[in-house]
Amino acid sequence: MRTRLALPLALVAAVSVAATACQSSSGKASATPDKKDTPVAAPSAADYNPQPYDRIKDGGTFTTVGTFDDQGNPFDVNATLTATRVWAWYNADAITYSPTGAVQYNPDYYSDVKVAVEHGDQKVTLTINPKATFNDGTPIDWTAIRATWKANNGSDKAYAASSTDGYSQITSVEKGVNAKQAVITFKGVNAAWSTLFSTFLHPKAATVAHFNNAYVKKAHPEWGAGPYTVGKWDTHSGDITFVRNSKWWGRKGKLDKRVYVNLESTASVNAFKNGQLDYTSAVDAESLKQVKGLKGTEIRSGGSPFEYSLYFNTRSAVLSDPSVRKAVEESVDRAQIAKIQFQGLDYKEPLPGSSVLYSFQKGYEDNVSAVLKYAPDDARKALDAAGWKPGADGVRVKDGKKLDIGYTLLGDDPLSKAKAGAFAAMLKPVGIHLVIKKADEADFSKILSDRRFDLFLSGNRSLDPFGARYLCDFYCSDRDSNLTGAGTPALDKEIRATTGIADLGQQAVAVNKVEKKALEQYAVLPLYSGPSTYAVRKGLANVGATIFYNPLPETVGWQK
């Protein structure tokens, strides 16, 4: 899943265009610059104290901010990222990803997985662990896979499904050699199929009534499975305690208790400082300053699968000309914008080269650099050639109109205002006047849906490693999720052709080739990703900056 501003239901809305520390990734490494002060390569920018299972103590408690949301079913359209995280502590974690996005099958659920393509159609065979059982005694078998598919494939509109993408491509889910085997057949191929069944529903939870309503302000541990189950849920405070599940067939959970405390995110730093929490995000320089150096704690920081970009509304009169858009992009010093963004965070990263793939992923290419460079002089020449002549005040003029371009700024965040000011300063010497237009954060969705902007800075976050599947959401001319309105039917066809490639490596090659063409529309300019930074109690293992990696619950705990 990719969470992105103003994308369809498959992509949960992000709410901030200010600096954000995003959940990050991977193996143990430092985000400290080397002696040459070069940007940290994203593959090594991870910090979460990875420890094998046998190096974790038995016992202890792990406490963070969180609660059951109003809708606790992560497949439901109204569920949030918090719901997904809480769900994972008392339901199946059948498929996870490595920090860099490699698929990992959990043998406690799927003892064997086979993927084949026959006559152009993909077939996935899941062999389910013979011991796998829901907490109410119901065997976990092919009917759970079928129930999950039927609830999410869009054939019954009564289900409030978050996304039918992928599920709608499945033509059947059938019993294999026995009930412990599910055979899933797709029309065509789906390289990202693993995102569809990383967890699943109890068949009883997959009726329309239960899917939509059973998890509203309620937990159903009897329909769950895993090393932990709900021990106590205080419906008044919202606090949750998970305890070891006596019905679990796999390795037992290391922790005695996993506790979520229902606090506002703004209160989490103080709660960490007074010992109430074991872990909290340090989202900006100020919060980092408060937690840095606290006795018994450490800062874990790394990269994240999050990216902010500058979006150009190609349907606005001033930006309808590609030469103007290109001139703007050539005038923006992305390295300087990143420097402003990361001020006070002791963090560096390579400039992003793609909207859909990250530099820590296999197959990534710097597509931005292949089609664009920071070149203000070239921008001036291009504007001259396009008929935009410098005016007496330095602002270019064409057909009696000044080259005034709007920049929509939400709220009063100082960092966002600093970046807006930097954009204006960069564009001024080229002869472009940036008109900063302040807007209320409450109007955010309407600004995007109505395209009431010229330039707009917003972000997206990937929750799975299959960014290539979202290429159309960024660049297809007929997608509402394409904030810029750029693109052509011919390019749309090339983009959609990439989704039919089953091999992820070959798909990445095709995606990079097409994205270079899409970037030549000069309507999207990737700017930065940013760090995931956390304050953590010393000794806490497998927690921190992890990119795509979500450690299995039984592996989280306190290091021996």
**Residue 460 and residue 11 in contact, taking contact as beta carbons nearer than 8 Å:** yes
281: Cβ–Cβ under 8 A, 6 or more apart, which residues? 21, 265, 268, 287, 532, 533, 534
Give the domain-ending residue among 443, 466, 489: 466
What average pLDDT score do residues 191-200 get? Answer: 94
In this prediction, residues 2-25 reach a mean pLDDT of: 28
Dihedral, CA atoms, 388, 393, 399, 405, nearest 10 degrees? 70
Asked whether residue 217 is domain-assigned, the answer is no
Quickly count: other Cβ atoms within 10 Å of residue 135's Cβ.
Answer: 21
For the cut 50, the answer to whether the pLDDT of residue 40 exceeds it is no
Mean pLDDT of 199-213: 97
Does 413 share its domain with 336?
yes
Same domain, 240 and 296: yes
Nearest alpha carbon to residue 201 among 266, 270, 256, 153? 153
**Higher pLDDT residue, 443 or 482?**
482
Is 543 inside a domain boundary?
yes
Query: Could you tell me if 282 and 331 lie in one domain?
Result: no
pLDDT attached to residue 469: 80
* Domain containing residue 272: CATH number: 3.40.190.10
Q: Is residue 128 part of a domain?
A: no
Q: What is the mean pLDDT of the chain?
A: 88
So what's the pLDDT on residue 442? 67
317 shares its domain with 461: yes
Total Cβ atoms within 10 A of residue 52? 9
The pLDDT confidence band at residue 2, using thresholds 50, 70 and 90, is: very low
**Is residue 418 located within the same domain as residue 542?**
no
Encode pLDDT of 493-552 as tens digits.
999 899 878 788 999 999 999 999 999 999 999 999 888 889 999 999 999 998 889 899
CATH number of the domain within which 459 lies: 3.10.105.10
| pLDDT digit string, tens, across residues 102-124 | 899 999 999 999 999 999 999 99
* 342 and 391 both lie in a single domain: yes
Distance CA 44, CA 445 (A): 35
Band of pLDDT at residue 345, cut at 50, 70 and 90 = confident
In this structure, the answer to whether residues 318 and 451 fall within a common structural domain is yes
Q: Which pLDDT band, with edges at 50, 70 and 90, does 66 fall under?
A: confident
Find the largest Cα–Cα distance for the chain. Answer: 81
Residue 98 inside a domain? The answer is no
Q: Is 439 within a domain?
A: yes
Closest by CA to 78, choosing from 242, 195, 211, is 211
pLDDT of residue 287: 86
Q: Are 256 and 400 in the same domain?
A: no
Q: Per the domain annotation, does 236 fall within a domain?
A: yes
The stretch 27-36 carries a mean pLDDT of 31
448, 546, 314: which is closest to 15 by C-alpha? 448
- Same domain for 346 and 443, yes or no, is yes
Give yes or no: residues 459 and 317 share one domain: yes
Question: What would the pLDDT profile of 137-172 be if each residue is shown by its tens digit?
Answer: 999 999 999 999 999 999 999 999 987 878 989 999
User: Quick one: CA dihedral 148, 151, 155, 160, positive or negative?
Assistant: negative
pLDDT band at 286 (very low <50, low <70, confident <90, very high): confident
The predicted model scores a pTM of 0.76
Residue type present at position 226: G
36 has pLDDT over 50: no
Is the domain of 315 the same as that of 460?
Answer: yes
pLDDT at 459 over 80: yes
Q: Give me the number of domains the chain comprises.
A: 2
Q: What angle do CA 230, 235, 239 make, to 5 degrees?
A: 60
Task: Map 168-186 to HEC letters.
Answer: HHEEEEEECCCCCEEEEEE
**Is the pLDDT higher at 130 or at 5?**
130
**Has residue 30 got a pLDDT over 60?**
no
pLDDT attached to residue 301? 87
For residues 209-217, give the mean pLDDT. 95
- The pLDDT assigned to 100 comes to 79
pLDDT at 447: 84
d(Cα 12, Cα 2) in Å, to the nearest integer? 7
Write down the pLDDT at residue 78: 82
Q: Which residues contact 9 (CB under 8 A, 6 or more apart)?
A: 77, 161, 162, 163
175 bridge partner residues? 182
| pLDDT tens profile 348-377 | 889 999 999 988 888 999 999 999 999 999
**Coil, strand or helix: which one is 70?**
coil
Quick one: pLDDT at residue 473? 82
Instruction: Give per-residue pLDDT as tens, 420-451.
Output: 999 999 999 999 999 999 988 767 767 887 88
Residue 163, pLDDT score: 78
Q: Note the pLDDT of residue 70.
A: 82
Q: Does one domain contain both 330 and 431?
A: yes
| Domain membership of residue 270 as a residue range | 42-66+227-303+533-560
Q: What are the DSSP calls for 261-296, one per residue?
A: E---GGGHHHHHHTTS-SEEE--SHHHHHHHTT-TT
Residue that terminates a domain, selected from 409, 444, 466 = 466
Looking at the predicted structure, is the pLDDT value of residue 255 above 90?
A: yes
Residue 477 lies in a domain: no
Q: Would residue 339 count as lying in a domain?
A: yes
Which residue would you say has higher pLDDT here, 398 or 25?
398
3-state secondary structure of 334: helix
Considering 426, 450, 466, which residue would you say is the last residue of a domain?
466
